Structure 1
Amino acid sequence: MVVDLRKVAAASGVSLSTASRALSGSGRVSAATRERVRQVAEDLGYRPNALARGLRTNHSRLIGLVITNLVNASLHVIAEVVHDRLKASGYHLVLCITGDDAGEERAYVETLRDHNVDGVLVVGSDDEAVQSLRETDIPAIHLARRPRRPAGDCVLGADIEGAREATRYLLGLSHQRIAVVAGPPAVTSGYERLAGHRLALDEAGVPYRDDLVFQGPLEPAWGAEAAARMLALPEGRRPTAVLVTNHEAAFGLLPALRERGVRIPGELSVLCYEDADMLRWWDPGITVMDNNAARMGDLAVSLLLDRIVANPGSTGQTPTEYRVGAQLVIRQSCVIAES
């Protein structure tokens, strides 16, 4: 049976308002009454309504994390880091998974607003959802994706430089035909990582080939399809190396290559953007450009908590863009191309 404040007041022999003040520690109630009401509440198993308390104090101690999926190991790491940092700071995390659906993103943002959250971290860029955040006084931080008109600071990867360095590494191994499996161009990491790849090719004087670029949805199924398309190319045009720019595609491409008997790195060198346990454990271990997901999550929480403490409202503040650098981790999946 749910015990509400009225039952606590009645059992304590005080008014509803006095019971409320006593449990909030108000100095307008004597110490003896505060202790009596507190003891009765404890004996009855009373738990205060956090939402109602948040509406009164303007602090709910809730932080929303709106995220596209947990298939991507980087997003999984970010969610864990955010949870641990918020817990240590006395906040509770409300996790919202959109499935990369714009309608879901809008719905979750509205729900978080209705529940008076103290702040929002968003992996997403739907214009209507961002506009909804801009119209509130809720501090917001954008993670991994930069919307056209941010509602708050943006914490992004140094994706152009990271992909540029990854391609340079493959070029340094004498690979001239490098395929790229990338996310959709509307996603920040999708177009920036492809842009970094193209910059490295231009610097090396290697032609950019549209038939070696496979852009698609952030899904393992797309990685498997991209593998099939690569292998369907004529032998003289087939890539000797592939840069996979997101986990979702990598988790589909690698099993597909194994099922087709493609030897890594003997027939195809593979370099993946973003690290994950699966890539470390794969046989052979997959060389990666680690995007430092934990650092991104940690920085995003720090920025959000600073905004909450310094100024509860995000409206009117000029957003700042932060970039977290990537690091090449060399394993066994890339070798010098045969001449």
Structure 2
Amino acid sequence: MKRTVTSHDIARLAGVSQPTVSRVLTGNDRVNPETRSRVLAAARELKYRPNGNARAMRTSRTGNVGIVVSRLTNPLYPEMLEAIGQRLTAHSLRMVMWNTDEINEKLALDAVYESLVDGVIMTTATDASSRLYETLRLNTPVVLINRSVERWACDQVTSDNLKGGALVARHFVEAGRKRIGLLGGPTSASTIRERQTGFRLQLDSMGAALLPEHCISVETFSYQQGYAAAKELLTRTRQPPDSLFCVNDILAIGAIDAARSLDLSIPDDLWIVGYDDIEQASWEAFDLTTVRQPLDAMTEQTIEFLLDRMDGHDGPPRYQSLPNELIVRGSTSS
């Protein structure tokens, strides 16, 4: 019988003490990054699995899938969780959720470790989540949905945010908008980074200007930040934007109300486009033109990848990027 790999084996290969290995495998913060990387590399090389989890996963299924999420104040994520939950239920699986806005990633890691989940789906991953991802990956299959992290060796499902941003730029330019603006945000998230890049590249290719004074960024994605940023943008120059791309719908809804507070008419004085097509975007009060992500198709592909990994598929990482659609509503048409 093949001998079970232990934390002492990892310690010998990594050249560290066994307590250091234990701290790494339980997500303890008191380990320097270089040592953590060496321990995780040794664990992967030895194909280590924590004893309790490994035995349970080899002999039976728990029926639990962990979902790591944040930014639940953005309606996109509850919509995404509902779609994930419905598909997991169809496969007789239960969803266990950890919101990293409310608990730090160490606690999320402990919860996953102790709950013996069969797989993990991460919905809001960034490079900053690397410690959580690396440790989770020792225990269970991990699949990313929505955001991608290029250097992570796991299955990832996104929508084509680069082309989505380009759709908005083309919509503005082809309609003859001259003073085009951008309400952006932190580029740590792949979604935001790619939307802004696609928007800028398409404007450049069509010979359209995006002046610095017509661009502004927020630190967090909220209605309040969208409102404040749009109000500043629309009052900072004598010739403010006549069209504004907001990198998600929550910011766009805040921008619409900011424009109204300045007695600007939408769409006569200002066009506004959002991104995601959350439910509120279609409400009569906002009637927001936006880019719709194919949440159902993204969720279906994510669950397919995860089930495949849970069944033992050990092939190379798979990356799926699905097309988006521009939904034109009253915020950009008379």
Give the alignment's TM-score, normalised by structure 2.
Answer: 0.77
User: 2:302 and 2:235 mapped to 1: Cα distance?
Assistant: 42
Q: Residues 322 and 55 from structure 1, CA distance in 2 versus in 1: closer, same or farther, beyond 3 angstroms?
A: closer
Residue range with higher mean Cα deviation, 208-217 or 85-94? 208-217
**What does residue 234 of structure 1 align with?**
237
Q: Residues 281 and 331 from structure 1, CA distance in 2 versus in 1: closer, same or farther, beyond 3 angstroms?
A: same
The answer to whether 1:131 aligns with 2:134 is yes
The residue correspondences of 1:237-248 to structure 2 (distance < 5 A) are 238-248=240-250
Give the alignment's TM-score, normalised by structure 1.
Answer: 0.76
1:104 CA displacement: 2.0
User: 1:151 and 1:71 mapped to 2: Cα distance?
Assistant: 29
Counterpart residue type for residue 177 of structure 1 = R
Unaligned runs of 5+ in 1: 1-50
1:55 CA displacement: 7.0
The residue correspondences of 1:74-85 to structure 2 (distance < 5 A) are 74-85=76-87
1:284 CA displacement: 5.4
Q: Residues 220 and 105 from structure 1, CA distance in 2 versus in 1: closer, same or farther, beyond 3 angstroms?
A: farther
User: 1:331 and 1:60 mapped to 2: Cα distance?
Assistant: 45
2:186–2:192 Cα contact (<8 Å) kept: yes
**What does residue 201 of structure 1 align with?**
203
2:252–2:273 Cα contact (<8 Å) kept: no
**What does residue 279 of structure 1 align with?**
281
**What does residue 211 of structure 1 align with?**
213
Report the identity percentage: 24
1:133 CA displacement: 2.2
Show CA shifts across 1:202-235 (max 9, x none): 1111223222222222222221121111122222
1:130–1:151 Cα contact (<8 Å) kept: no
1:97 CA displacement: 1.6
User: 1:162 and 1:56 mapped to 2: Cα distance?
Assistant: 42
User: 1:284 and 1:250 mapped to 2: Cα distance?
Assistant: 9
- RCO higher in structure (CA 8 A, sep ≥6): 1
User: 2:57 and 2:272 mapped to 1: Cα distance?
Assistant: 52
**What does residue 316 of structure 2 align with?**
318
For residue 328 of structure 1, the aligned residue among 326, 329, 333 is 326
User: 1:106 and 1:153 mapped to 2: Cα distance?
Assistant: 23
Q: Work out which of the two has the higher radius of gyration on C-alpha atoms and give 1 or 2.
A: 1
**Displacement over 4 Å in runs of 4+:** 53-56
1:151 CA displacement: 4.5
User: 1:292 and 1:334 mapped to 2: Cα distance?
Assistant: 22
1:318 CA displacement: 2.4
Show CA shifts across 1:42-97 (max 9, x none): xxxxxxxxx9x957844211001111123323222210111011111111100122
Show CA shifts across 1:79-135 (max 9, x none): 011101111111110012222x8x72343133212211000000222111121123x
**What does residue 105 of structure 2 align with?**
105
1:127–1:148 Cα contact (<8 Å) kept: no
Q: Tell me, what secondary structure is at the counterpart of 1:235? A: coil
**What does residue 122 of structure 1 align with?**
122
Q: Residues 303 and 207 from structure 1, CA distance in 2 versus in 1: closer, same or farther, beyond 3 angstroms?
A: same
2:215–2:233 Cα contact (<8 Å) kept: no
1:120–1:140 Cα contact (<8 Å) kept: yes
The answer to whether 1:168 aligns with 2:166 is no
Q: How many residues align?
A: 277
1:183–1:189 Cα contact (<8 Å) kept: no
User: 2:284 and 2:120 mapped to 1: Cα distance?
Assistant: 35
User: 2:300 and 2:215 mapped to 1: Cα distance?
Assistant: 33
Show CA shifts across 1:145-191 (max 9, x none): 22243252111110011110111011111112111112311110111
2:74–2:222 Cα contact (<8 Å) kept: no
Q: C-alpha root-mean-square deviation of aligned residues, in Å?
A: 2.2
User: 1:166 and 1:106 mapped to 2: Cα distance?
Assistant: 39
Counterpart residue type for residue 148 of structure 2 = R
User: 1:264 and 1:92 mapped to 2: Cα distance?
Assistant: 44
Q: Residues 189 and 55 from structure 1, CA distance in 2 versus in 1: closer, same or farther, beyond 3 angstroms?
A: closer
Q: Residues 276 and 288 from structure 1, CA distance in 2 versus in 1: closer, same or farther, beyond 3 angstroms?
A: same
